[in-house]
Amino acid sequence: MILYEFICQKCKTRFSEFYRLAEMPQERACINEDCDGTAHKIISLPSKPQFKGSGFYETDYKKGK
């Protein structure tokens, strides 16, 4: 599953949704109930991975104070 980010052209609402790789949506209806606009997929920077569990904490390997 991939997290895609969208922005509505009419009300400028930004939101994210998960989709399968095969779907790859380019646009969808706005999630704002008061808006009837179309939201388009935007390019966003990927977030850094966050490992959870024993030995994979972000602070485990930091140097200095």
Task: Report which of 62, 65, 17 is spatially closest to residue 39, judged by C-alpha positions.
Answer: 17
pTM over 0.85: no
Task: Report which of 36, 34, 38, 4 is spatially closest to residue 19, judged by C-alpha positions.
Answer: 4
Measured over the CA atoms of residue 36, residue 38, residue 42 and residue 47, the dihedral's sign is: positive
Give the residues of the chain that fall short of pLDDT 70: 45-65
Starting at the edge strand found earlier in the chain, the sheet holding 27-29 runs 14-19, 2-8, 38-42, 27-29
List all residues 6 or more positions away from 9 whose beta carbon is below 8 Å from its beta carbon: 37, 38, 39, 40
